[in-house]
Chain A
Amino acid sequence: MEAYINMVLLTLLAIVTLTIVRQRNLFSVVVLFGVYSFLMASVMIVLDAVDVALTEAAVGAGISTVVLIGTLHITGSEEMRPSRLALLPIVTAAATGAILIWGTYDLPEFGKADVPINTHVAPFYLEQSIPLMGVPNVVTTILANFRSFDTLGETTVIFTAGLGIMLLLRHKSRKEASKILKKDVVFRVIIKLIIPFIMLFAFYVHFHGDYSPGGGFQAGVMLAGAVILYSIIFGAHEAQRVVPQSVAAFMIPLGVLIYAATGAISFIYGQNYMDYTALASYPKDAHHLGIILIELGVLITVASTMLSIFYAFVERRH
């Protein structure tokens, strides 16, 4: 059954990809990217990687669609026909693809039992998550505890991306309200009704992240999504009265700082970096607290980066 579901989903993915390549209208391409992300999220769910599916749906189908539409607002939505056949790019792309496919032959088969990842790495994480950390969601323990250095790196990458986009796109803000949507009472009422629940769900995903799928990344994207939704309906200026651009910009490094500082607390007690046992008297409580704190750092950085990117795009009209 699972194999059939995978077949259908992967076939649809291939069809969507080919359509994206052939499509000239960039607005359709953006919508198809959203479709692609949702299909990918479904594939991830079939693979039991619900955390990744949540991220893919929130980032791929949610935020990036909004940002890409914001880009189309600046660039126009029709792709120009190439004036001549791009021979060099075709050769480069085909060669890179061929090398990558060739490289997969050296990788072990999917789910093979006697490769290092399945003989001692993954079993260690799976077996030790509950005894060492008391955290049922192994994805969260790996992300925030066993491999918290990697996640610190990822958070820094997001921080850098936000910094880069703000340096490239930052512009003087201009007073401009969206005309059509703001008048419509249906949007105003429903969006006001729904935004608190989106935020509540974001915090649930964050604080419940060690028991159920989710964590700082997903929660941050949802939180930013709630504010972006508000600014789509009521105009970016109304949204900036709630979360000013300067606050969003200030929170990008703040999240990384919270993350790094949580790890550094253990220095005071003479322990290794990112060893959370110093945070509370019982190791398991300490691990829970440490995970929540560093995920909070991730949440703040991700949410404010997404929001800053969105603000940067909105303000750079025409």
Chain B
Amino acid sequence: MSQASSLDLLYLMIDVLSGAMILAGSFFIIVGAIGLIRMPDVFTRMHAVSVIETIGAGLLLSGLMIQAGPTLLALKLFFVFVLFFFTAPVATHAVAQAALSAGETPQLSEDRRSKTAAATPVNSNDNEGADD
């Protein structure tokens, strides 16, 4: 009886842990997606997307691995994780290289400030405060 209940507790813990990881992973993926749309230029957008590829996918796969238990499926998920670990940063690197060689320069906060100041010259001081 007591063994059965401790097993139940173990399964509950597995479910809670994997569920929390999958939820957290989904959260980071949504954050990355919002960042991809909201960020101002290529490089900051890539920064947002890299969140999806690293911690988002990582947490999702870890959660699924816990759910799969010690099976071949878990090993396959681990392989996917390793593949992401190696390829995602390289893909980001490739995009950054391509952007740089295409003449894209990172937008600095000075640029943004001067742009907003040029757009609204009357109360530029307020805008500067809001940007920071």
Contacts and interface: CB of A to CB of B under 8 A. Distances in A.
B89 to A, nearest CB: 8
Contact of A194 (B86, B93, B94, B101): B86
B86 A187 contact: no
Contacts of B90: 186-187, 190-191
Nearest to A184: B97
Nearest to A180: B101
B87 interface: yes
Interface of A: 180-181, 184, 186-187, 190-191, 193-194, 197
9 contacts: A180-B101, A181-B97, A186-B90, A187-B90, A187-B93, A187-B94, A190-B87, A193-B86, A194-B83
A194 B87 contact: yes
A190 B97 contact: no
Interface residues of B, number: 8
A190 B90 CA distance: 8
A186 B93 contact: yes
Contacts of B93: 184, 186-187
A24 to B, nearest CB: 18
Contacts of B97: 180-181, 184
Nearest to A193: B86
A83 B125 CA distance: 49
Contacts of A194: 83, 86-87
Nearest to B82: A197
A193 B86 CA distance: 9
Which of B86, B87, B101 has the most A CB atoms < 10 Å from its CB? Answer: B86
Contacts of A197: 83
Interface string B74-88: 000000000100110
Nearest to A179: B101
Contacts of B87: 190, 194
Given A180-B101, A191-B90, A193-B86, 4 more contacts: A181-B97, A187-B94, A190-B87, A194-B86
